[in-house]
A and B are shown apart, each in its own frame.
Chain A
Amino acid sequence: MKPVVISDLSVAFGALRVLHDVSFDVAAGECFGLVGESGSGKSTVLRCASMLWSKWTGEVRIGDRSVREMSAADRCRTLQMVFQDPFGSLHPRHSIRTVLSEPLKIQNIPDRDDRMAQALCDVGLPVDFLDRYPHQLSGGQRQRVAIARALIVEPDVLFLDEPTSALDVSVQAEIINLLMRLRGEKGLTYVMVSHDLAVIDHMCDRFAVMQAGRVVEVLNREAIAGNGATQAYARDLIDASLEYERAL
């Protein structure tokens, strides 16, 4: 279990500043949420912290090491990511076997067959799925494969970029329960982006509300039900969400 510390993370695309000094801490083994409207920079935080985008300033530390100083191999075995769209995150021409064995080959991890079987078993898929292709799987099954791919290198931290928003409601619940179970079993630290406060309420201990590239407020889960936010924007966001749920 490793904590994640993000301090003064700033990004500019040309003249446009997308993130303004974003800072928050995630305790080891915690599930931390990032909420905000579209374009508020939630996903950008994950893309920067995972070094998919490297032109940022500030610091991101996982455990006691900065992600910038880690080698690609170290980073791979420290943090992994699950993406929003399970239809775009699996290579359409790769069988599940290729999808899962590729990270093992890159990292030179032995016992590939056993690990692949174990990874599929962990996410609740039968082992004979190894020879299937992504177009032969449903959205929920694909997302399970994506989770298996992320976990097969045994990372400490998992970044979840709206892992359920592309799935329908019943499948969402399955994936959320799966993620919660895996966090307990493997001692993972989660940083999860979502715009669904119900999902955040269910999974996260704490969450940060973001607006226009800034962290407005960091709140505990309990703040949702009674709307304990102190900042105007965070109050509005939680109010809107609560109203929406009541209307349903």
Chain B
Amino acid sequence: MMTETAPRPETDTATATATPRRRRTPQALKTAGTLLRFLMRQPPSAFGLVVLALLVGTAILAPVLATHDPYVQNLGETLLPPSGAHFFGTDELGRDVYSRLVHGSRITLTIIFLVTIVVGPIGLAVGTAAGYFGGKVDIVLMRVTDIFLSFPSLILSLAFVAALGPSLNNAIIAIALTAWPPIARLARAETLTFRKADYISAARLQGASPLRIIWRSIVPMCLPSVLIRLTLNMATVILTAAGLGFLGLGAQPPLPEWGAMIATGRRYMIDSWWLVTFPGLAILAVSLAFNLLGDGLRDALDPRQMHKR
């Protein structure tokens, strides 16, 4: 890396000026490609990636993959064990558990996606602002964060859902409201480590506004760890969503949300094990996949590793 100390002769500058400006997108794609390859090399993160690819694929192809309509009841075929006609059996209303699981993946993905795009920016904005400005801004923002952090997240979600009324959307809002504080803390801690760096001083001397410094200089430095944290958070989000569904405060019947499926299956659990087992396994697999992927990302986005690429 540390090649040639001496400056090159200035003769070749004239020719180089004429070369057109390189575009940025291919560079980003290349980075994504190397990142994917790195993740596929380790078995745990590869498992995570594959399971998540399966989840996304299932969600997209749900109508094709499902063998039955997830909402159609057939009271003549209630609580059938797994068989060729019903891969994962049927529930107490004769609905096909496999088809409901497949359609439920859409709900799970929606929850993860919406929570993440709400939580990431809020956490980043609060954390970087607190870290960069310091002083009173920091005190106010961090005390607000502390208040949110000092509630058990499921209890706080319960309170929000109770206030807003039980529904899937309210569950998403409630989970988002409880999931941003750790992100904000992380972004603040990261910001504090380099707010005094010379490149921030240089940006200030160039007349950059605080907003510009935060967006252009600080956010790119915080982004890798925030992404890792968000990925690890997704497992918690799924579990909280399933927990809310289980308590009847998330997705409402007849929506095939996995937690809600476990909740209704609980009453028949002793005789019909498949009602609880398959949604439970689905939740387990997806949470595990996100955790493993987050771990893999932590290795992949480590600055020391970045320099090798």
Q: Which residues of A line the B interface, CB within 8 A?
A: 50, 52, 72-73, 75-76, 79-81, 83-85, 88-94, 102-103, 106-107, 113, 117, 120-121, 123-128, 131, 135-136, 138-141, 144, 146, 149, 153, 170-171, 174
User: Within the assembled complex, what's the spacing in Å between the Cα atoms of A50 and B205?
Assistant: 8
Q: Which of B210-235 contact A (CB under 8 A)?
A: 212, 216-217, 220-221
30 contacts between A and B (CB under 8 A): A50-B205, A52-B201, A75-B207, A76-B205, A76-B206, A81-B202, A81-B205, A83-B198, A84-B198, A89-B197, A89-B199, A89-B202, A91-B199, A91-B217, A92-B303, A94-B220, A102-B208, A106-B207, A113-B21, A120-B13, A121-B10, A123-B7, A124-B7, A125-B8, A127-B13, A127-B16, A138-B2, A141-B7, A149-B202, A171-B5
Residue B12 at the chain A interface, CB threshold 8 Å? yes
- Select from chain A the residue with minimum beta-carbon distance to B197: A88
B1 within 8 A of A: yes
Cα–Cα distance between A128 and B19 once the two chains are bound (Å): 9
For A170, what are the chain B residues with a Cβ–Cβ distance below 8 Å? Answer: 5
Minimum CB–CB distance from A72 to chain B (whole Å) comes to 4
The residues of A that contact B266 with a CB separation of less than 8 Å are: none
Q: Which of B5, B19, B204 contacts A138 (CB 8 A)?
A: B5
Is B198's CB under 8 angstroms from A85's CB? yes
Q: Which residue of B lies closest to A168 (CB)?
A: B5
Q: Is B17 an interface residue, CB under 8 A from the partner?
A: yes
For the complex, is B186 an interface residue (Cβ under 8 Å from A)? no
Contacts of B197 in A (CB 8 A): 88-89
- B22 interface residue per 8 A CB criterion: yes
Question: How many B residues, CB 8 Å from partner?
Answer: 34
Known: A127-B13, A135-B307. 19 other contacts (CB 8 A): A52-B201, A52-B204, A75-B207, A79-B205, A83-B198, A83-B201, A88-B197, A90-B199, A91-B203, A92-B221, A94-B217, A103-B207, A107-B206, A117-B16, A121-B10, A121-B13, A138-B3, A141-B7, A146-B202
Distance between Cα atoms of A126 and B1 in the complex (Å): 17
Q: Is the CB of A106 within 8 A of B206?
A: yes
Contact B202 A83 (CB under 8 A): yes
* B4 at interface by CB-CB < 8 Å: yes
For B1, the chain A residues whose CB sits under 8 A away are: 135-136
Which residues of the other chain, A, contact B303 by a CB distance below 8 angstroms? 92
Chain B residues positioned under 8 Å from A75 (CB to CB) = 205, 207
Q: What separation, in Å, do the CA atoms of A121 and B2 have in the docked complex?
A: 20
- Which one of B6, B12, B199, B206 lies within 8 Å of A88 (CB-CB)? B199
Give A106 to B216 CA distance when docked, in angstroms: 12
Output the least CB separation between B20 and chain A (Å): 10
Residues of A within 8 A of B207 (CB): 72-73, 75-76, 103, 106-107
- What chain B residues lie within 8 Å of A131 (beta carbons)? 22
Write the nearest CB–CB distance from B222 to chain A, whole angstroms. 11
Q: Are B201 and A125 in contact (CB under 8 A)?
A: no
Q: How far is the CB of A73 from chain B (nearest CB, A)?
A: 5
Structural contact, B203 and A102, CB atoms closer than 8 A: yes
Q: Of all chain A residues, which has the CB nearest B2?
A: A138
A90 / chain B contacts, CB cutoff of 8 Å: 199
Given contacts A93-B221, A113-B21, contact A153 B206 (CB under 8 A): yes
- Residue of A whose beta carbon sits closest to that of B11: A126
- A86's nearest neighbour on chain B, judged by CB, is B198
Chain A residues near B307 (CB-CB < 8 A): 135
Residue of B nearest to A155 (CB): B205
Are B13 and A126 interface neighbours, CB within 8 A? Answer: yes
Contact check, B17 vs A127: say whether CB atoms are below 8 A apart.
yes
Contact A125 B7, CB 8 Å, known A88-B197, A88-B198, A106-B212 = yes
Residue in chain A with minimal CB distance to B216: A102
Bound CA span A146–B197, Å: 14
